[in-house]
């Protein structure tokens, strides 16, 4: 009887381990829900490995930041240097001296993983590739990455160039805050140099955007040292998932195991909406203001991750209002809503003004004082 029980214990233990081995052929992997940064699954997620062209995600963060703050524009023309045009590996075949817009080069980087395209953009933004690499490493520090170091902008194999599945998930999450990236990652095919004799057909290296329900990004990569790598984001209903798979030996296996990883997440978890964007949470009186009240609302839905079929939790919330300074524009952040699971704060969401609030002008303030005097409102 004891032997039977022992065998059953071993059998069930083996089944459990097998069920959780979602990426058996990968060196490392991770599946997260980016909104809450909850890790759903991980395998060797903090192991330092080569990352191939997933490197380019960090470069893209810097480029989109420059676009957002107006330092560069999508229409800017970039002249390809001999250094850029001489890049090996994946490329869009830039010629030395060729002019291409930032928009076109972004297509070349994101869809075709063009090494020449990312080097051209890096040189345009920073002056040279070395300075751009320093910017990438500085950004890694600001993101709190502890196991990432960049030596080049392309991801070509080089000593000292490494990251981890976990760090790459944080990089990908940051990249997704620049929503314009999805204008490129969701396109399966396009052309560069459309109206020339040198027209170049782009086909997205991420085949899952065509074959996997909800997939809309993000980046693929492959080198001899890194193997086949992939960062994929997919959204269904109100839940987005992000998977990182590194060090696969075959592209088809990489794609298959990425799909299985995402399937696991979508089958096991769901996002629960506990408060809705635009919901009025509080009304605050403000002295010497016009109007003299401001309604406080949420700038986005509040969603929490929960296992499917589990009883829905009851969450509490706490409103914290900043010291209000007039004038206020509609949408100005005026505080935080703390979402709590028991005593633990699990989320902080911006509270915003639901209307424009101006300072009351001096003349009107005096009229109010005089009015109050004559109506007896100043007598206690």
Residue with tokens 């893209």: 60
Which residues belong to the active site?
Answer: 53, 56, 113
Helix H or strand E encompassing 375: helix 362-375
Residue with tokens 């002019």: 99
Q: Across-strand partners of 227?
A: 223
Distance, in Å, from the CA atom of 233 to the CA atom of 254, rounded to the nearest integer, reads 14
Distance, in Å, from the CA atom of 170 to the CA atom of 50, rounded to the nearest integer, reads 16
DSSP secondary structure code for residue 311 in this structure = P
Burial of residue 283 (number of CB atoms within 10 Å: 0-12, 13-18, 19+)? exposed
For the record, the structure tokens of 47 come out as 């192991």
Output the CA angle 282-285-289, nearest 5 degrees.
130
Q: Within 10 A of 54 (CB to CB), how many other CB atoms are there? A: 25
Of the candidates 238, 256, 254, the one whose C-alpha atom is nearest the C-alpha of residue 246 is 254
Strands (E), 155-299: 189-192, 200-203, 215-223, 227-236, 239-248, 269-275, 280-285, 289-290, 293-298
For the record, the structure tokens of 13 come out as 């233990």
Residue with tokens 């109506």: 375
């Amino acid at each position: 009887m004891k032997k039977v029980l022992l065998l059953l214990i071993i059998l069930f233990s083996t089944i459990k381990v097998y069920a959780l081995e979602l990426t058996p052929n990968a060196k490392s992997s991770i599946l997260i829900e980016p909104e809450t940064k909850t890790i759903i699954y991980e395998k060797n997620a903090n192991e330092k490995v080569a990352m191939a062209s997933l490197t380019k995600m960090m470069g893209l963060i810097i480029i989109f930041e420059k676009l957002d703050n107006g330092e560069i524009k999508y229409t800017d023309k970039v002249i390809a240097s001999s250094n850029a045009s001489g890049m090996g590996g994946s490329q869009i075949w830039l010629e030395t001296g060729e002019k291409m817009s930032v928009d076109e080069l972004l297509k070349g980087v994101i869809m075709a993983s063009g090494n020449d395209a990312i080097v051209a953009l890096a040189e345009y933004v920073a002056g040279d590739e070395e300075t751009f690499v320093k910017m990438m490493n500085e950004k890694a520090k600001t993101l709190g990455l502890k196991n990432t170091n960049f030596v080049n902008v392309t991801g070509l194999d080089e000593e000292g160039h490494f990251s981890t599945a976990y760090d790459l998930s944080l990089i990908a999450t940051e990249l997704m805050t620049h929503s314009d990236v999805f204008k490129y990652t969701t396109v399966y095919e396009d052309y560069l140099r459309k109206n020339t004799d040198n027209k170049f057909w782009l086909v997205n290296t991420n085949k899952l955007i065509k074959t996997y329900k909800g997939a809309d990004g993000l980046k693929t990569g492959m080198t001899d040292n890194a193997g086949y790598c992939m960062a994929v984001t997919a959204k269904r209903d109100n839940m987005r998932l992000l998977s990182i798979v590194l060090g696969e030996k075959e592209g088809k296996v990489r794609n298959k195991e990425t799909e299985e990883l995402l399937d696991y997440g979508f089958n096991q978890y769901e996002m629960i909406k506990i408060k809705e964007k635009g919901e009025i949470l509080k009304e605050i009186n403000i002295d010497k203001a016009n109007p003299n009240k401001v309604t406080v609302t949420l700038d986005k839905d509040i969603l929490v991750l929960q296992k499917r079929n589990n009883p829905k939790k009851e969450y509490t919330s706490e409103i914290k209002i900043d010291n209000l300074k007039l004038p206020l524009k509609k949408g100005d952040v005026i505080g935080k809503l703390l979402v709590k699971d028991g005593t633990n704060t699990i989320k902080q969401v911006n509270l915003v003004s639901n209307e424009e609030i101006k300072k009351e002008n001096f003349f009107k303030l005096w009229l109010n004082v005089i009015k109050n005097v004559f109506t007896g409102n100043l007598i206690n």
